[in-house]
């Protein structure tokens, strides 16, 4: 089998690696399977046939149909969108920083998005919409701050971006703690629940804004994907090949931060999906290109699997998804550090 294959879409053609296409196809099917299992998981358990019948509008039980469409389907779609956004954002950050730890939750962008939400909750007693908008705005503001502070000469990538991001994230985490301990107890409890990251009580009002945001940002990221591949060869080489290095880096950072902020606004801070998703995707595809699509699919699969695990654990508690991903991601990070000579 040839290493490359050509996909034709009308007058356009896309050359891609055959192994990457196969891996993406398998991840897509796995995501559909996990989604189907999640639609049948809950107090009212449903089999695959019942799930399909309710999705097609042929269900015999009106209660089951309402549960599927109003409760479980928005939750599954939110997990799919959030996981995809985090996976693609992680791929961009790891490529730009040239560091395996360059994910938004490690370098402070997720914390920055959370800061805006906490300010809204603690100081203004804001509702879900204002909280989500504040998370998006503060995430973008944090990214611009890190980008400016990381500038050295005319470059801002590499380890400097990671280290500056970690420092800004630590400062914002301290600010978040101060707000939580000095505010109203009820508001602090609500903020803590939001900070845990959760897919509970997700509705179509969470799905639609996230879908709209991804539909605007993902095409921009894919359009610049080839330039990001060239950036991995080094700024000097990319510049000689005609890439506007800093402009491309700024556009992709803003795209990745936008994806992170949208995910954080939809489900709260979700740890380690952006770290592990792109790395696992690259190991499976064995492709030197930045794993934007495969990383997004892997992020979605990981988040759906974590949600399914959290709901089916043999304990009398429905764990927040952020706690599940934090536990699993911490183990993955320890394994990564123990295995790698240079991270």
Regarding predicted confidence, which is higher, 130 or 207?
207
At 101-122, the pLDDT tens digits run 778 877 788 888 889 888 888 8
Q: Which pLDDT value is given to residue 1?
A: 42
Arithmetic mean of pLDDT, 10-24: 77
**Residue % of the chain over a pLDDT of 70:** 91
Write down the H helix ranges in 125-203.
128-150, 159-182, 185-195
Q: How confident is the model at residue 34 (pLDDT cuts 50, 70, 90)?
A: very high
Q: What pLDDT score does 166 carry?
A: 86
User: pLDDT digit string (tens) for 212-248?
Assistant: 999 999 999 999 988 888 888 887 888 888 888 888 8
Q: Which of 74-78, 195-199, 255-259 has the lowest mean pLDDT?
A: 195-199
What would you measure as the largest C-alpha separation in the chain, in angstroms? 67
Interval 250-256 mean pLDDT: 87
- Could you report the per-residue pLDDT of 267-291, keeping only the tens digit for each? 888 888 998 899 899 989 988 888 9
pLDDT at 52: 85
Please name each of the domains of the chain with its CATH number. 19-339 (1.10.3470.10)
């Amino acid at each position: 089998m040839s290493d490359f294959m050509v996909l034709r879409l009308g007058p356009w053609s896309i050359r891609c690696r055959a192994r990457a296409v196969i891996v993406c196809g398998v991840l897509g099917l796995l995501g559909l399977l996990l989604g189907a299992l999640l639609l049948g998981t809950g107090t009212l358990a449903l089999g695959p046939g019942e799930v399909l019948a309710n999705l097609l509008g042929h269900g015999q039980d009106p209660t089951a149909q309402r549960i599927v469409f109003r409760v479980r389907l928005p939750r599954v779609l939110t997990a799919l969108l959030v996981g995809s956004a985090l996976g693609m954002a992680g791929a961009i950050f790891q490529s730009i920083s040239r560091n395996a730890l360059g994910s938004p939750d490690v370098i402070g962008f997720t914390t920055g998005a959370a800061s805006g939400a906490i300010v809204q909750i603690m100081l203004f007693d804001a509702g879900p919409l204002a909280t989500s908008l504040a998370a998006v705005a503060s995430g973008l503001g944090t990214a611009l701050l890190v980008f400016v502070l990381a500038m050295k000469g005319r470059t801002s990538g590499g380890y400097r971006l990671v280290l500056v991001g970690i420092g800004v994230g630590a400062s914002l985490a301290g600010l978040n703690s101060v707000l939580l301990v000095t505010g109203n107890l009820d508001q602090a409890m609500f903020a803590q629940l939001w900070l845990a990251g959760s897919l509970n009580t997700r509705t179509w009002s969470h799905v639609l804004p996230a879908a709209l945001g991804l539909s605007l940002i993902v095409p921009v990221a894919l359009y610049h994907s080839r330039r990001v591949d060239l950036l991995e060869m080094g700024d000097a080489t990319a510049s000689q090949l005609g890439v506007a290095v800093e402009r491309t880096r700024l556009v992709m950072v803003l795209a990745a931060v936008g994806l992170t902020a949208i995910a954080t606004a939809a489900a709260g801070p979700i740890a380690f999906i952006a770290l592990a998703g792109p790395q696992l995707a690259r190991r499976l595809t064995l492709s030197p290109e930045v794993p934007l699509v495969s990383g997004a699919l892997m992020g979605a699969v990981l988040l759906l699997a974590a949600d399914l695990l959290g709901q089916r654990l043999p304990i009398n508690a429905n764990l927040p998804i952020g706690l599940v991903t934090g536990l699993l991601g911490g183990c993955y990070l320890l394994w990564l550090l123990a295995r790698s000579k240079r991270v």
